[in-house]
Structure 1
């Protein structure tokens, strides 16, 4: 009696190798590609100056953590600050405006004021900051 072995069956091609290639290509293009939007022109961000002396003169606008505003040490209603600063800018167009905000004050209480002062014609608006490592 002669036993014959069945002919070996051909297995269909697996796509595992193709999946590996696609995965490697995906990783490759993610590593070499830029994920951020690039500007169509050169952008140089401003440089913060810490440790330098503040310029003398000008006015100081203080913003508390809860949004209360003071002008040169005197509490001012938010709707009156624009009028008071405008009158100071008319008298002295080159006046320095110094904004001293509490570290927990929200940006939405500070940034609109800076834009407002610049729209009024203020040339120098300085935001007072605390250098890293300074006592709180």
Structure 2
């Protein structure tokens, strides 16, 4: 009497290696990527008791404690900043939002002329980045 052998079953494919690769990519992009342009100098925004969340998009102008400027993370002079933003003010879909990320110790005599100059070249929406007060 001959017994019939049962067919060999293939080992199930494991996806552990795939999960490891996906996890590695996730960690890699979390470390390498950035959500927003960071200033080439330290900026501590002022505290505010009122305000709303910032809208997405636009450009970021950073102002250091000494008054140094940066556009989307690259140091620039005031003239270069205005020259770089002037063509964007005439965009077909309207001028972009300009976020001013100024250090809390920046004097208004530095900040207000900058806002006036930005509005003068056609940037109609200029917002100041602040830190919400925890109290």
State whether TM-score is above 0.5.
Answer: yes
Kindly name which structure, 1 or 2, has the bigger radius of gyration based on alpha carbons.
1
Number of the residue aligned with 2:121: 120
- Distance in 1 separating the partners of 2:63 and 2:118: 15
**Structure 2: tracts of 5 or more residues without a match:** 1-48
CA contact (8 A) 2:58 2:96 kept: yes
Q: How many residues align?
A: 86
1:49 is displaced (CA, Å) by 4.4
1:105 is displaced (CA, Å) by 1.1
TM-score, length basis structure 2: 0.57
- Distance in 2 separating the partners of 1:81 and 1:95: 14
Which stretches of structure 1, 4 residues or longer, exceed 3 Å deviation after superposition?
none
Deviations 1:19-78 (A, max 9, x none): xxxxxxxxxxxxxxxxxxxxxxxxxxxxx842x321000000000001110000111012
Number of the residue aligned with 2:63: 63
- Distance in 2 separating the partners of 1:49 and 1:114: 20
CA contact (8 A) 1:93 1:121 kept: no
Secondary structure at the counterpart of residue 100 of structure 1: strand
Give the CA RMSD over aligned residues.
Answer: 1.9
- Distance in 2 separating the partners of 1:65 and 1:85: 22
CA contact (8 A) 1:98 1:127 kept: yes
Secondary structure at the counterpart of residue 53 of structure 1: coil
